[in-house]
């Protein structure tokens, strides 16, 4: 919301003609003039509608402050679209302006010029140092009703509470998380992250013709993204839940009460757009679509728990200067699972299963998590204390508790963020799980109990492996960490590597044998390239290593007749003698339990274009 204040000796206007969104006014109010007045030229912006009363009260406070500074006793609110290029819809703007007028009328004599009219006006500015002032009004809607400050403490496995400033026994990840979140310290290196080199190598970059924070993926990166998505789906469908996979839209009407309320509770990092004179919010998770669908499902208590899953494109309006490839984006992809539970006991049971699965997945990448447990109030902590303590004891580690200020109307009670330490020395949130006690009622999601009565379920929200992008970020970061620790070349998990095998023909006479071997490996479902270019073998080997290929096989005269192959194994950084059957069996073992996909580019290197970024 943009405000321009002019302290005027006189202001007069005349409403000349209507626009199609003009409000009705009596004939006698088309002309107006007033002396010694504080004029507030006002533009209502797109993001203002979702902030409602909190924004109005903030703007009213600004008016009171400026009026006091210039000792004004009269106020004229003048709708003025020209202060912003991102305007709210007419209906939203008029609603905000009307509320603004009501809020300030009790503080100062107030008049509002008519909305939606073409008007002429004349103003005479007083010209003193404070006679021209401008303000931008912005508010986080969760501030409404907020009492007190955010509170942090360490909750130990013994059940004790320790002040963050007094705690020093955590590992590097825990202490980095504690210092950043609780003590508000700058943590970690400010240098360019190492993982950006892998982004460049595999083809991840910003789209220069789009908004800030939007990525593109060249073929190898696109394969990594898609196979990560397949794996995320595999994880959620693999541990006993009745999962219903859905697909839906990414924009929702803010005139829908449930959508508006959820947006207000989410905060101010919203993307919105206008279409057919209506205002829509771009989804910031899969909640809207899944909840909209679930509200129409006929669910029996016998079928519970019921879960919905979608890998949803989500939009967060991150600061453009803070965006990071794969980690902090304006468009991200969330493998969102929502689990409907009959009661809190069932919610606790599945929360624990999800919690353990989250730890299992990070362990597969060779890393570990520390917990930041967000709780919506001290009351909510007391209610869930025993459960939280049981999670802490089971993992034999302390956790950091964040108690949100009292008074905010949160839809959730407990939210755990799982943090991993990256190469920069920073604790990064990847996985998450949350207990939601408010949205079932808000979106009219019910299930029938044994007597046919409708009940509102408890909803668990989770992204077990994190967003697809953050999962890839973690894989890259851990690969580089392994290389730093071992002193050997970094390597990616075999199932995730874009090109798992590459056959190198020493001359054109060896291409045929390369194709035989490539056919065998491709038939097993492995991604196999063939370097058929007329280059020296040393250059081919060097490029294969630069491309992080898992297994590199040189085919020369000896291999035309022998069953034994000379194989470079990147993971062990050794050359090994193996038969083709041994190689296939080892590859099957490494890829067991993970999805398979074909190459996303031609197998023959002679047919590939240079798409390096």
**Does residue 193 have a pLDDT over 50?**
yes
β-bridge mates for residue 460, sequence order: 339, 435
In the block, which residue shows the tokens 């728990």?
305
* pLDDT value, residue 145: 46
β-bridge mates for residue 118, sequence order: 17
Q: Using one digit for the tens of pLDDT, what is the confidence trace for 291-331?
A: 999 999 999 999 999 999 999 999 998 877 789 999 999 99
Q: Which secondary-structure segment (H or E) carries 14?
A: strand 2-18
β-bridge mates for residue 77, sequence order: 40, 112
Report which of residues 266 and 481 the model is more confident about.
481
138 vs 59: CA distance, rounded Å:
9
* pLDDT value, residue 141: 43
Question: For the residues 66-74, what does the mean pLDDT come to?
Answer: 90
* pLDDT value, residue 409: 61
In the block, which residue shows the tokens 């069996």?
585
Taking the chain, what is the end-to-end CA distance rounded to the nearest angstrom? 40
**Does residue 356 have a pLDDT over 90?**
yes
For residue 180, count other CB atoms closer than 10 A to its CB: 17
DSSP code of residue 300: B
Q: Using one digit for the tens of pLDDT, what is the confidence trace for 556-570?
A: 999 998 889 999 999
77 vs 60: CA distance, rounded Å:
11
Extract the tokens encoding 31.
């002309």
Extract the tokens encoding 516.
């035989």
How confident is residue 144, by pLDDT bands cut at 50, 70 and 90? Answer: very low
Q: What is the DSSP string of 53-88?
A: HHHHHHHHHHHHHHHHHHT--EEEEEE-GGG-SSBP
% of the chain beyond a pLDDT of 90: 77
Extract the tokens encoding 518.
């490539």
**Per CATH, which fold does 2-139 belong to?**
3.50.80
For 501-607, the fitting CATH number among 3.30.230.10, 2.60.120.1440, 1.10.287.950, 3.40.50.800 is 3.40.50.800
β-bridge mates for residue 567, sequence order: 553, 576
Q: Strand ranges (DSSP E) for 165-263?
A: 204-206, 215-217, 242-245, 251-253
* pLDDT value, residue 86: 80
49-53, 66-70, 335-339 — most confident range: 335-339
294 vs 299: CA distance, rounded Å:
9
How confident is residue 138, by pLDDT bands cut at 50, 70 and 90? Answer: low
Residue 277 exposed, middle or buried by CB count within 10 Å (0-12, 13-18, 19+): exposed
**Per CATH, which fold does 151-244+299-476 belong to?**
BirA Bifunctional Protein; domain 2 (3.30.930)
Rg (CA), the chain: 30
Q: Where in the chain is the domain with CATH 3.50.80.10?
A: 2-139
**Does residue 104 have a pLDDT over 50?**
yes
CA dihedral 592, 598, 603, 607 (to 10 degrees): -150
* pLDDT value, residue 142: 42
**Does residue 613 have a pLDDT over 70?**
no
Beta 161-162 vs 151-155: how paired, if at all? Answer: antiparallel
How confident is residue 268, by pLDDT bands cut at 50, 70 and 90? Answer: low
HSE-CB at 255 with a 13 A cutoff on CA atoms is 13
67-71, 261-265, 473-477 — most confident range: 473-477
Q: Using one digit for the tens of pLDDT, what is the confidence trace for 485-531?
A: 889 999 999 999 999 999 999 999 999 999 999 999 999 999 999 99
Q: Where in the chain is the domain with CATH 3.40.50.800?
A: 501-607
Query: 372 φ, ψ to 5°?
Result: -105, 110
Mean pLDDT of the chain: 92
pTM of the complete model: 0.79
- For 353-422, give the secondary structure using H, E and C: HHHHHHHHHHHHCCCCCEEEEEECCHHHHHHHHHHHHHHHHHHCCCEEEEECCECCCCCEEEEEEEEEEC
Residue 485 exposed, middle or buried by CB count within 10 Å (0-12, 13-18, 19+): exposed
Q: Where in the chain is the domain with CATH 3.30.930.10?
A: 151-244+299-476
């Amino acid at each position: 919301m943009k405000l321009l204040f002019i302290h005027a000796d006189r202001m007069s206007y005349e409403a000349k003609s209507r626009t199609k969104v003009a409000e009705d006014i009596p004939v006698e109010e088309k002309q107006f003039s007033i002396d010694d007045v504080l004029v507030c030229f006002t533009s209502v912006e797109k993001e203002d509608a979702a902030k409602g009363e909190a924004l109005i009260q903030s703007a009213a406070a600004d008016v009171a402050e400026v009026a006091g500074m210039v000792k004004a006793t009269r106020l004229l609110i003048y709708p003025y679209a020209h202060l912003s290029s991102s305007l709210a819809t007419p209906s939203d703007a008029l609603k905000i302006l009307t509320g603004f007028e009501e809020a300030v009328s009790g503080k100062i004599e107030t008049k509002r010029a008519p909305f939606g009219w073409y008007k002429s006006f004349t103003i005479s500015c007083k010209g003193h140092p404070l006679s021209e002032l401008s303000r931008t009004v912005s508010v986080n809607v969760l501030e409404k009703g907020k009492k007190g400050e955010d509170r942090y403490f360490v909750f130990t496995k013994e059940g004790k509470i320790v002040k963050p400033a007094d705690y020093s026994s955590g590992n590097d990840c825990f202490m980095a998380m504690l210092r950043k979140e609780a003590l508000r310290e700058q943590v970690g290196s400010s240098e360019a992250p190492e993982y950006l080199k892998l982004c460049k190598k595999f083809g991840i970059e910003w789209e220069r013709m789009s908004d800030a924070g939007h990525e593109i993926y060249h073929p190898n990166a696109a394969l990594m993204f898609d196979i990560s998505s397949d794996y995320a789906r595999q994880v959620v469908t693999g541990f006993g839940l009745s999962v219903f996979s859905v697909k839906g839209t990414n924009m929702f009407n803010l005139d829908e009460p449930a959508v508006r309320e959820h947006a207000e509770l989410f905060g101010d990092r919203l993307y919105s757009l206008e279409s057919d004179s209506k205002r829509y919010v771009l989804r910031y998770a899969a909640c809207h679509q899944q909840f909209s669908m679930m509200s129409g499902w006929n669910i029996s208590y016998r079928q519970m728990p019921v879960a919905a899953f979608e890998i949803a494109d989500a939009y967060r309006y991150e600061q453009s200067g803070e965006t990071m490839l794969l980690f902090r984006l304006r468009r991200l992809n969330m493998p969102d699972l929502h689990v409907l539970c009959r009661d809190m006991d069932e919610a606790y049971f599945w929360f624990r299963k999800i919690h353990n699965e989250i730890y299992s997945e990070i362990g597969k990448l060779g890393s570990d998590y520390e917990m930041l447990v967000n709780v919506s109030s001290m009351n909510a902590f007391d209610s869930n204390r025993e459960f939280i303590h049981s999670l802490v004891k089971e993992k034999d580690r302390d956790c950091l508790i964040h108690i949100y200020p009292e008074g905010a109307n949160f839809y959730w009670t407990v939210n755990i963020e799982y943090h991993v330490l990256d190469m920069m020395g920073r604790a990064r949130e990847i996985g998450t799980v949350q207990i939601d006690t408010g949205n079932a009622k808000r979106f009219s999601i019910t299930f029938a109990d044994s007597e046919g009565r409708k009940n509102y379920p408890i909803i668990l929200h989770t992204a077990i492996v994190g967003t697809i992008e953050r999962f890839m970020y973690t894989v890259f970061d851990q690969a580089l960490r392994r290389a730093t620790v071992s002193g050997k070349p970094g390597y990616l998990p075999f199932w995730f590597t874009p090109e798992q095998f590459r056959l190198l023909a020493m001359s054109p006479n060896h291409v045929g044998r390369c194709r035989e071997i490539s056919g065998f490996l491709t038939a097993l479902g492995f991604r196999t390239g063939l370097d058929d270019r007329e280059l020296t073998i040393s250059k081919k080997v060097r490029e294969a290593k630069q491309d992080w290929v898992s297994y590199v096989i040189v085919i020369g005269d000896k291999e035309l007749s022998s069953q034994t192959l000379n194989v470079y194994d990147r993971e062990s950084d050794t050359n090994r003698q193996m038969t083709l059957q041994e190689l296939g069996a080892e590859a099957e073992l490494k890829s067991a339990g993970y999805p398979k996909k074909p190459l996303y580019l031609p197998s023959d290197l002679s047919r590939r274009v240079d798409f390096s970024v």
